[in-house]
Structure 1
Amino acid sequence: MNRRGVTIVLSFMIVLYSCGFRGKAPKAVQDRDPDTIFPRGDIIASGNFTGTAFLQMLVPADTVYNTQIGNVTFQPGARSHWHFHPGGQILLVTHGKGYYQEKGKPRLIIRSGDVIKCPPNVVHWHGASSDSSLTHIAISPNTPKGAVVWLQPVTDKEYYGGIRE
């Protein structure tokens, strides 16, 4: 675990101790990958992903903020289907390596620390590389316009296509 991770864990333990918590860590803490900030969440079983991906909703859509935020973790080789967001989407990559591709453009490599702006109504996909997991915070603003429209699966040819670094 890196220094930042140790600091976060120690800070969390101090807060728990100061609040009188003396037992086993909460399930949300137990389910965390040691290299990620938020819990991994549950397997996404919607049929809109190839491979195994997990979702932990952090902020559900509401009428005050009109934004939903989720922590998404892709196992190696996992990816979304082609899709678009009527209100756009922002991806904050927090761990690992993966890909992002807009329809008709080259596939891009994305890594921890990258920020991807998916424009409204632009067809795209994203997921982990074949040799690394990928975790990102998915921010979907303007939810009254619609959250996501799912399309066809990403083919292996598209997934393994050319890379622009």
Structure 2
Amino acid sequence: MRIVRQSDRGPADQRATVSGQAWFEPVLPATDGTTIANVTFAPGARTYWHSHEGGQILQIVSGRGLICSDGSDPEEIRAGDVVWVPAGERHWHGATRDSPMTHLAISLGTTQWAEEVV
């Protein structure tokens, strides 16, 4: 068992793997290949293309966003939605142009970051 106190998590930070402004607030530091973070995207901000070794679960907490798998059209996601992204599926996600979005991201295994979405 491991208890992670709020004071042990550290402050939210910005990442170089996002177009626009986004803040990553760790909920659980990397543990047994799993990371959990609250991520807030400013309107129009989104991740770069990426995939996860073991998949990813996104629980949309507030706002509206978009998610897109490589080769597909972006789909709108909103507060209350939960998304499962299978292992190795290349995708991106972020806020719509007119709304911020916050999601809880549970990432399984290593994340492979790629290029910015154009």
Bigger Rg, structure 1 or 2: 1
Higher relative contact order (CA 8 A, sep 6+): 2
1:71 equivalent in alignment to 2:21: no
Match in the other structure for 1:163: none
The answer (yes or no) to whether the contact 1:71–1:138 under 8 Å persists in 2 is yes
Paired residues in the alignment total 109
Per-residue deviation at 1:43? 3.5
> Do the aligned partners of 2:13 and 2:25 also contact (CA within 8 Å) in 1?
no
TM alignment of 1:126-145, pairs within 5 A: 126-141=93-108, 143=109
Give me the TM-score of the superposition, normalised by structure 1.
0.63
**CA-atom RMSD in angstroms:** 1.3
Q: Which residue is equivalent to 1:152?
A: 115
CA distance in 1, matches of 2:13, 2:98: 20
Match of residue 28 from structure 2: 59
Shift of 1:42: 2.3
3-state SS of paired residue (1:96): strand
State the one-letter code of the partner of 1:58. V
Normalised by the length of structure 2, the TM-score is: 0.87
The alpha-carbon deviation at position 87 of structure 1 amounts to 1.0
Look up the SS of the partner of 2:40 in the other structure. strand
Show structure 1 runs of 5+ residues with no match: 1-27, 29-40, 156-165
Counterpart in 2 of 1:38?
none
Partners in 2 of 1:83 and 1:102 — Cα distance? 10
The answer to whether the 8 Å contact 1:81/1:152 transfers is: yes
Partner of 1:42: 12
The counterpart of 1:111, out of the listed 78, 85, 94, is 78
The reply on whether 1:125 has 2:95 as its aligned counterpart is no
Q: Which has the larger strand fraction?
A: 2
The percentage of counterpart residues that share the same residue type is 41
**Which structure 2 segments of 5+ residues have no match?**
1-5
The structure that is helix-richer by fraction is 1
- Following the alignment from structure 2 to structure 1, what is the Cα–Cα distance between the partners of residues 87 and 94? 19
